A and B are shown apart, each in its own frame.
Chain A
Amino acid sequence: DSGVTQTPKHLITATGQRVTLRCSPRSGDLSVYWYQQSLDQGLQFLIQYYNGEERAKGNILERFSAQQFPDLHSELNLSSLELGDSALYFCASSGTSGRQETQYFGPGTRLLVL
């Protein structure tokens, strides 16, 4: 158990819909990262938040957005869903050690778009 929680575990929805994935970081961690893992593309970094502010963006589509709240939990919003958005979405968190940090990953949310 990494200490990072994600809800829901599974999500089935239809094309064109919007969903919200939730992540609670480890206690004390200020950074939250979102990753997408699909069968054909491996793990892709989407976005990072640090203490409520966006810090880095990766391969995140404009249809996707995220935020980190004052209590440090984060939400990833996926809208206008397409079949290709079906994937595992992982959240990770890290602290502030000042050097390369270990990221602790949650169990993931499996999204299926039909």
Chain B
Amino acid sequence: LAKTTQPISMDSYEGQEVNITCSHNNIATNDYITWYQQFPSQGPRFIIQGYKTKVTNEVASLFIPADRKSSTLSLPRVSLSDTAVYYCLVGAQVRMDSSYKLIFGSGTRLLVRP
């Protein structure tokens, strides 16, 4: 599984757009990029997943450049409730019943201030 590098922490203010970048230089051809959010004492929650270019859902956008060696999670107009740890993961499942485990790095601690 590709190793990922993210900033340890970020600060923002309510209403701002937050962009968290993740580096994954060794991403493989069949790897997808997935972001999870975790609040204290809760299980990680899936935010968004993408393979290339741009993906957008009701929560966030994910930008992936052509070389796929990095990705940026964009959270529009953050609120206090977006304060959490955000994890970037890359990996792929080889077969339908293949083993697939998520390797969580340290993540990025986002603090949203009023």
Contacts and interface: CB of A to CB of B under 8 A. Distances in A.
Interface of A: 2, 4, 30-31, 33, 35, 42-45, 48, 50-51, 55-56, 58, 88, 90, 92, 94, 96, 98-108, 110
27 contacts: A2-B43, A2-B45, A4-B43, A33-B102, A35-B104, A42-B104, A42-B107, A43-B102, A44-B104, A45-B103, A55-B98, A55-B100, A56-B99, A58-B101, A94-B100, A96-B96, A98-B96, A99-B93, A100-B49, A103-B44, A103-B102, A104-B46, A107-B42, A107-B43, A108-B41, A108-B42, A108-B43
Interface of A is mostly: strand
Contacts, number: 77
Contacts of B72: none
Given A42-B106, A56-B101, A58-B101, A100 B43 contact: no
8 closest cross-chain pairs (CB), A and B: A105-B43, A56-B99, A100-B32, A43-B104, A55-B99, A45-B101, A102-B46, A90-B43
A73 B99 CA distance: 18
Contacts of A35: 102, 104
Given A2-B43, A2-B45, 12 more contacts: A31-B100, A43-B44, A43-B104, A50-B97, A55-B97, A55-B100, A94-B100, A100-B49, A101-B93, A102-B34, A102-B46, A108-B42
B31 interface: yes
Nearest to A90: B43
Contacts of B45: 2, 105
B110 interface: no
Interface of B: 31-32, 34, 41-46, 49, 87, 91-93, 96-107
A61 to B, nearest CB: 16
A76 to B, nearest CB: 14
B111 to A, nearest CB: 18
Nearest to A94: B100
A109 B49 CA distance: 27
Nearest to B49: A102
A111 B43 CA distance: 15
